[in-house]
């Protein structure tokens, strides 16, 4: 405690609990879905459990909503496990290693934990790059669904399945429009007339942002289109910026992207 620079005067409350490390084999069986600690449980090392459970819930909730609205077939729900179980397995493996380090017994482990780590950690975190890496890891903003069943294309450094990169510009940013929790299209630069007309006809929100160096720095490509899922991950990144790319994507997955009246973007004749 001395080496950790902690000075404890009184313990008001404490409890003990048993640490579990496991991931369920499947996140879905028929109509039953598992998420949060019910599907993956691990030690609190790294403070990731709640974040991961909320991530599961967001991933599953929008898919359930559009299936219930009749805008996608039931098999869209299969993508929940496909997108989430890999991260859960990696998380359980890494927290397991961290937990073993924290709780290891023996003189060497004791020295590492009480003398080396308290000196090393403040030094390492004094570097901006280390703090940035830790922030990105712990906040899970680098988690992506690349190669997943709903992810397609790439434009700039952004692939289908990536989280939309944040690009702040003069007090505004490209996340303002994400509160709508529905499909939308982003274009950074200028959008073609055909895309503008197709989005208007189908009632799919299209946001066009003036091209700025911040967009390039964030990895976005000029004039490409980014079709965003309701959870704000990029479903489709397409350099051509054409509505046909969205239509092909929707047809392939038998999805109806527009919430309302529009018939387009779902593979049916218009």
Ligand X SMILES: Cc1cc2nc3c(=O)[nH]c(=O)nc-3n(C[C@H](O)[C@H](O)[C@H](O)COP(=O)(O)OP(=O)(O)OC[C@H]3O[C@@H](n4cnc5c(N)ncnc54)[C@H](O)[C@@H]3O)c2cc1C
Q: What is the contact surface with ligand X in residues (CB under 6 A)? A: 17, 36-38, 44, 47-51, 53
Of the pair 92, 152, the CB lying nearest ligand X is at 92
d(CA 94, CA 21) in angstroms, rounded, equals 10
The nearest distance, CB 106 to ligand X, in angstroms, is 24
Least separation in angstroms between residue 53's CB and ligand X is 4
Question: Least distance from C-beta 163 to ligand X, angstroms?
Answer: 18
SS (H, E, C) 89-148: HHHHHHHHHHHHHHHCCCHHHHHHHHHHHHHHHHHHCCCHHHHHHHHHHHCCCCCCCCCC
Closest to ligand X by CB, 34 vs 235, is 34
Choose between 20 and 254: whose C-beta lies nearer to ligand X: 20
- Give me the least distance between CB of 49 and ligand X, in Å please: 2
Q: Which residues pair with 226 in a beta bridge?
A: 186, 237
Torsions phi, psi for 236 (to 5 deg) = -135, 130
SS3 content of the chain, % helix, strand, coil (to 5): 40, 15, 45
The minimum distance between CB 56 and ligand X, in angstroms, equals 8
For the CB of residue 141, give the shortest distance to ligand X in the complex, in Å.
14
Residue 8 or 129: which CB sits closer to ligand X?
Answer: 8
Measured from the CB atom, is 51 or 232 closer to ligand X? 51
Burial class (CB in 10 A: 0-12, 13-18, 19+), 81: buried
DSSP 8-state code for residue 28: E
What is the number of the residue whose Cβ is closest to ligand X? 36
CB closer to ligand X out of 51 and 137 = 51
**Residue 163 burial by Cβ neighbours in a 10 Å radius (0-12, 13-18, 19+):** middle
Identify the CA nearest to 165 among candidates 188, 133, 138.
Answer: 188
């Amino acid at each position: 405690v001395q080496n950790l620079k902690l000075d404890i005067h009184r313990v008001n409350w404490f409890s003990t609990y048993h640490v579990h490390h496991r991931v369920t084999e499947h996140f879905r069986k028929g109509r039953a879905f598992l998420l949060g600690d019910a599907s993956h449980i691990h030690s609190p090392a790294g403070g990731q459990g709640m974040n991961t459970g909320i991530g599961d819930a967001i991933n599953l909730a929008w898919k359930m909503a559009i299936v219930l609205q009749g805008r996608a077939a039931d098999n869209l729900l299969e993508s929940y496990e496909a997108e989430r179980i890999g991260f859960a397995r990696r998380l359980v493996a890494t927290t397991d290693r961290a937990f073993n380090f924290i709780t290891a017994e023996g003189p060497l482990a004791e020295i590492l934990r009480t003398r080396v780590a308290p000196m090393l950690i403040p030094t390492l975190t004094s570097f901006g790059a280390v703090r940035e890496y830790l922030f990105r890891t712990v906040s899970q903003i680098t988690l992506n669904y690349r190669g997943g069943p709903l992810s397609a294309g790439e434009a700039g450094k952004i692939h289908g399945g990536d989280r939309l990169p944040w690009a702040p510009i003069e007090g505004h940013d490209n996340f303002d429009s994400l509160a709508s929790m529905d499909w939308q299209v982003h274009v950074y630069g200028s959008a073609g007339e055909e895309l503008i007309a197709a989005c208007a006809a189908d009632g799919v929100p299209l946001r066009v942002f003036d091209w700025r160096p911040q967009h390039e720095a964030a990895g976005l490509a000029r004039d490409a289109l980014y079709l965003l899922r309701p959870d704000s991950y990029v479903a489709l990144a397409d350099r051509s910026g054409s509505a046909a790319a969205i239509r092909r994507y929707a047809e392939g997955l038998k999805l109806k992207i527009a919430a309302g009246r529009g018939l387009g973007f779902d593979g049916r004749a218009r």
